């Protein structure tokens, strides 16, 4: 059997690193054939030295010469390209049959859609693309005829708890999808205790080690909100059939509640390599390097309702999903601007939800027409967010 050729988009990131770790454990089975990063040429060149891909791409064109120089110095022979169009072309191109969509933010949209349209096996980590363009991504998947296997841990858990991956929920007797949330680093705090929290405090996640954007999203609970929207699209679940429960141990990754009262859960240590290995090898199971779960050592599994008065981003995401049209794309764009501003020190933590809410008020939802209009609305929402930011905080 020849190995599966895997394009890792976002290779230098947290999901990229976990993916390459799993690939390295199964050299006969998988090859990292395309590696993509934003502008970290040193990190990308080191990965190329180790994994010897056919093609390395740096999204920032200004960094291409630097990448080529580093690869030549290291004696690595692979093609080099740059720019967002090169990333999109590679995701749909002949060098890969599997695409790990692990770019952070709306920057991952075009390549995710291209992989879906080309019928690749799509391992989706980049939740922002499905939050922005859920219906368009599902249409692209239908056109391409490939599989989408979620690697966001909650959705991967639900995928595993459903018969046959992503069936029609009504036909298989599903009552609810129950997404678990760790609650993030500020679980249990009141609003007044959150006013002065810093980016480093927000990024110190108690259970998962992740990139900074998703770490802030976890601290605000926007991450769970994005995941509710992701679950709605991936599993065609009505919004009222999706529930969020806080589970601080992060051992139950999510659950499916069936009409007969059975609740199926997927458990494991909080390590993204489980979901990635599951999706790479599905329907087979392979070693992922994850320690066996020692339930007696953990002793407790706690559950509580989310505090949406303090963590308002979760309520805003539910509201955007209910509003329909492109409201979730507006929510996502405003949140990306807000998180960048928070990480840069120009917006307080509580300002993230305020900014997102203001932008949603200023830009009422419009129907989704196509990718171009959606990208235009994303840009409009970012401009509006920067205006509001400037007026209110600068």
Binding stretches for ligand NAD (CB under 6 A): 10-16, 36-38, 40, 59, 87, 102-104, 107, 125-128, 152, 208, 210-211, 213-214, 272
Residue nearest to ligand NAD (CB): 13
CB of 358 to ligand NAD, least distance (A): 23
Binding partner selected for residue 134 from Mg ion, ligand NAD, none, CB under the kind-specific 5 to 8 Å limit: none
Tell me which stretch binds Mg ion (CB under 5 A): 53-61, 148-156, 161-169, 371-379: 148-156
Task: Give the range of 41-49, 54-62, 145-153, 187-195 binding Mg ion by CB under 5 A.
Answer: 145-153
Residue whose token pair is 């060098």: 95
Cβ closest to Mg ion, residue 64 vs residue 152: 152
Closer residue to Mg ion (CB): 12 or 254: 254
Per the omega criterion (within 30 degrees of 0), is the bond before 212 cis? Answer: no
Q: Which two tokens stand for residue 318?
A: 């539910």
Cβ neighbors of 391 (< 8 A, separation 6 or more) are: none
* CA 51/CA 67 separation, integer angstroms: 15
Report the nearest approach of ligand NAD to the CB of residue 205 (Å).
Answer: 9
The piece of 149-157, 295-303, 325-333, 382-390 that touches Mg ion (CB under 5 A) is: 149-157
Q: Which residues contact 296 (CB under 8 A, 6 or more apart)?
A: none
Task: Give the Cα separation of 304 and 73 in Å (integer).
Answer: 54
Picked from Mg ion, ligand NAD, none, the partner binding residue 268 (CB below 5 to 8 A depending on kind) is none
CA-to-CA distance for 93 and 49, rounded, in angstroms? 22
Quote the CA–CA distance of 348 and 303 in Å, as a whole number.
Answer: 29
| 54, 64, 110, 152: which one binds Mg ion (CB under 5 A) | 152
Strand ranges of the sheet holding 174-181, from the earlier edge strand across to the other edge: 242-246, 174-181, 252-258, 263-267
CB-CB neighbours of 2 under 10 Å: 8
In the complex with Mg ion, which residue's Cβ is closer, 153 or 328? 153
Q: Which does residue 11 bind out of ligand NAD, Mg ion, none, counting CB within 5 to 8 angstroms by kind? A: ligand NAD
User: In this structure, what is the dihedral angle of CA atoms 95, 99, 105, 108, given to the nearest 10 degrees?
Assistant: 40
CB of 227 to ligand NAD, least distance (A): 9
* Closest distance to ligand NAD from the beta carbon of 16 (Å): 5
Closest CB 50 distance from ligand NAD, rounded Å: 15
208 binds, among Mg ion, ligand NAD, none (CB under 5 to 8 A by kind): ligand NAD
Report what 210 binds from ligand NAD, Mg ion, none; CB cut-off 5-8 Å by kind: ligand NAD
Question: Strand pairing partners for 57?
Answer: 36, 81
State the Cα angle at 19 between 147 and 79, rounded to 5°: 90
Cβ atoms of residues 52 and 30 within 8 Å: no
Smallest separation, CB 68 to ligand NAD (Å): 17
Measured from the CB atom, the residue of 179 and 388 that comes closer to ligand NAD is 179
105, 126, 151, 183, 258 from 241: Cα distances, Å = 26, 23, 21, 21, 11
* # chain residues binding Mg ion, by CB under 5 A: 3
Binding partner of residue 107 among Mg ion, ligand NAD, none, CB under 5 to 8 Å per kind? ligand NAD
Q: Determine the Cα–Cα distance for residues 220 and 202; give it in Å rounded to an integer.
A: 8
Shortest Cβ 171–ligand NAD spacing (Å): 28
Can you tell me the distance from the alpha carbon of 267 to that of 265, in angstroms, rounded to the nearest whole number? 6
Q: Decide: 207 and 183 in contact? Cβ < 8 Å.
A: no
Helix axes 327-343, 127-144, angle to 10 degrees: 140
What's the min distance (Å) between Cβ of 88 and ligand NAD?
Answer: 10
Residue 335 CB, nearest approach to ligand NAD (Å): 11
Query: 103 vs 281, which CB is nearer to ligand NAD?
Result: 103
The region of 60-68, 86-94, 154-162, 330-338 touching Mg ion under the rule CB under 5 A is 154-162
Task: Round to whole Å and give the CA distance between 244 and 374.
Answer: 28
Of 95 and 245, nearer to Mg ion (C-beta) is 245
Interface positions with Mg ion (CB under 5 A): 152-154
């Amino acid at each position: 059997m020849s190995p599966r050729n895997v394009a890792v988009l976002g290779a230098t990131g947290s999901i990229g690193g976990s993916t390459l770790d799993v690939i390295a454990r199964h050299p006969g089975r998988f090859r990292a054939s395309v590696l993509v990063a934003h502008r970290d040429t040193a990190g990308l060149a080191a990965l190329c030295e180790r994994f010897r891909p056919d093609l390395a791409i740096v999204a920032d064109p200004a960094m291409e010469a630097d990448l080529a120089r580093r690869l030549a110095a290291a004696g690595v022979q692979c093609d080099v390209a740059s720019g967002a169009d090169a990333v999109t072309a590679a995701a749909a191109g002949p060098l890969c049959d599997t695409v790990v969509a692990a770019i952070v933010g709306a920057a991952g949209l075009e390549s995710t859609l291209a992989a879906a349209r080309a019928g690749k096996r799509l391992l989706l980590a980049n939740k922002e693309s499905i939050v922005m363009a859920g219906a368009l991504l599902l249409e692209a998947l239908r056109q391409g005829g490939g599989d989408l296997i979620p690697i966001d841990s909650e959705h991967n858990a639900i995928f595993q708890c459903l018969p046959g991956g992503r069936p029609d929920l009504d036909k298989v007797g599903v009552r609810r999808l129950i997404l678990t949330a760790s609650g993030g680093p500020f679980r249990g705090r009141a609003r007044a205790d959150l006013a002065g929290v810093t980016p480093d405090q927000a990024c110190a996640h108690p259970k998962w080690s992740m990139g900074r954007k998703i770490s802030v999203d976890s601290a605000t609970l926007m991450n769970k909100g994005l995941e509710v929207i992701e679950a709605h699209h991936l599993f065609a679940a009505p919004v009222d059939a999706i529930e969020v429960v806080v589970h601080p141990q992060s051992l139950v990754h999510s659950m499916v509640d069936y009409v007969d009262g059975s609740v199926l859960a997927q458990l494991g240590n909080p390590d993204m390599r489980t979901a990635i290995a599951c999706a790479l090898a599905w329907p087979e199971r392979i070693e992922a390097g994850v320690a066996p779960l020692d339930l007696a050592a953990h002793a407790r599994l706690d559950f509580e309702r989310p505090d949406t008065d303090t963590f308002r981003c979760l309520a805003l995401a539910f509201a955007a999903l209910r509003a329909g049209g492109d409201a979730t794309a507006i929510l996502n764009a405003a949140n990306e601007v807000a998180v960048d501003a928070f990480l840069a020190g120009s917006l307080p933590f509580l300002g993230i939800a305020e900014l997102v809410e203001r932008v949603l008020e200023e830009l009422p939802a419009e129907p989704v027409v196509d990718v171009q209009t959606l990208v235009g609305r994303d840009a409009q929402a970012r401009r509006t967010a920067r205006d509001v930011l400037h007026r209110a905080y600068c």
